Amino acid sequence: MLLLWVSVVAVPALAAPDPGAGGQRRGAARVWPVAPNVVLVVSDSFDGRLTFYPGSQVVKLPFINFMKAHGTSFLNAYTNSPICCPSRAAMWSGLFTHLTESWNNFKGLDPNYTTWMDIMEKHGYRTQKFGKLDYTSGHHSISNRVEAWTRDVAFLLRQEGRPMVNLIPKKTKVRVMEKDWKNTDRAVNWLRKEASNYTQPFVLYLGLNLPHPYPSPSSGENFGSSTFHTSLYWLKKVSYDAIKIPKWSPLSEMHPVDYYSSYTKNCTGKFTEKEIKNIRAFYYAMCAETDAMLGEIILALRQLGLLQKTIVIYTSDHGELAMEHRQFYKMSMYEASAHVPLLVMGPGIKANLQVPNVVSLVDIYPTMLDLSSDPDELTNIATQFPEVTYSLDRKLRSIINYPKVSASVHQYNKEQFIRWKQSIGQNYSNVIANLRWHQDWLQEPRKYESAIDQWLKTPTNPKKI
């Protein structure tokens, strides 16, 4: 886990260089003369490659560009898990997914888990959260849970509506995602009416739903979110000619995991180049709207005279495939899905700097602790023993038993499904038949129930776990 700071004094490096090469661990904790305010804006499904060349050429993102010019951008920032709740659990806890065991959107952190915001509040920060959080357990739809738990079952069922676009033909329609704009307004009002009057430093979190695709009610009751929805106002921010059509492998040549993902996301049908290009264009337009919300926060800070006293961080929980690899959504470690934006600006942060080091969302946690001047965080023993630290770091990266972790996931899925099935009793057949996959399931319900029964009868060998 690494600190993200790139100060006007320190050179940029987010990893521990080889001590044998004369280096020392960089990014060590530092103390600000005056504790800065902190604003963290986290969007949903924003492809990090749009924040640097050549991806940045396809859509106008003025406020992301402002952050790049006045701060530091991380070119290789990644999600720790390309799913909403697991990635956010990592960001709020500072723990990797194999430690949180957040294998799907149902499982996150315990509601009482101590987050970096709790620690900052303990050390004198005034705190506030608005918008999407989604890092604790027990949320998301029943469909979302059951689909994740039954991935080992020998069947293929479409779980989403076919990806599509929907345009509001108004050149003046700015506020398309009303819920996000309302939360942005709440955050701005809090800055103006409360934060600007504080004598203590503050930390503000704003969570956005955009540019996540919208629900698709036209695809049937309970279906997923497969609509890329925007207005003409935002679509005009997109350079349509710069949009590239991703290369697809023939279905017969796809890796089984890719085929499974493409099929369950309802992407194995025929798509014209125009359809694909439009989906990508609309997604980029949704990114432009996201950028504008980030801009509202930056402008408010500047108008209140707080911008020079505030560390502003922008990132996302994961990316969006937008028809790359014949998929939309995320749920894969391909670049479009796993690469996230990470931009930081504020007092002590180098301007117009691009950092190539690999970082991830778990690095937010120690960075926030560093800001809060937590004495435990500031006592960095690792810097006193760089050779030992480097050796242990290399060993840690080599000993994670991936087969064991994978086996534990399979066991978890089966246990959770059995528990859920028992909880609904005699309603099981009706409930499972009417989840998001209902259009396929209802064609052969006995076949699919039988496949689940067979899966449940297959013994799991604890010794392999």
- The sign of the CA dihedral 92, 95, 98, 101 is negative
Select which of 84, 85, 267, 287 is catalytic. Answer: 84
* 214 contacts 168 by C-beta, under 8 angstroms: no
Which runs of E-coded beta strand occur in 121-201? 126-131, 164-168
- Look at residue 294 and give its three-state secondary structure: helix
How far, in Å, CA of 130 to CA of 117, rounded? 13
* 155 contacts 217 by C-beta, under 8 angstroms: no
Q: Does the annotation mark 84 as catalytic?
A: yes
The distance from CA 346 to its chain's CA centroid, rounded to whole angstroms, is 23
**How does strand 71-78 pair with strand 202-207?**
unpaired
How far, in Å, CA of 367 to CA of 372, rounded? 9
Amino acid at residue number 427:
N
Say if residue 347 is exposed, middle or buried (CB neighbours under 10 Å; 0-12, 13-18, 19+).
middle
- The torsion angles phi and psi of 401, rounded to 5 degrees, stand at -90, 90
- The torsion angles phi and psi of 341, rounded to 5 degrees, stand at -75, 145
How far, in Å, CA of 456 to CA of 459, rounded? 8
- For residue 59, give the nearest of 341, 333, 247 by alpha carbon: 341
- The sign of the CA dihedral 254, 107, 207, 231 is positive
- Alpha carbon distances (Å) from 152 to 417, 429, 455: 11, 19, 7
- Look at residue 1 and give its three-state secondary structure: coil
Tokens of 58: 């396809």
* 440 contacts 158 by C-beta, under 8 angstroms: yes
Question: Which active-site residues does the annotation give?
Answer: 84
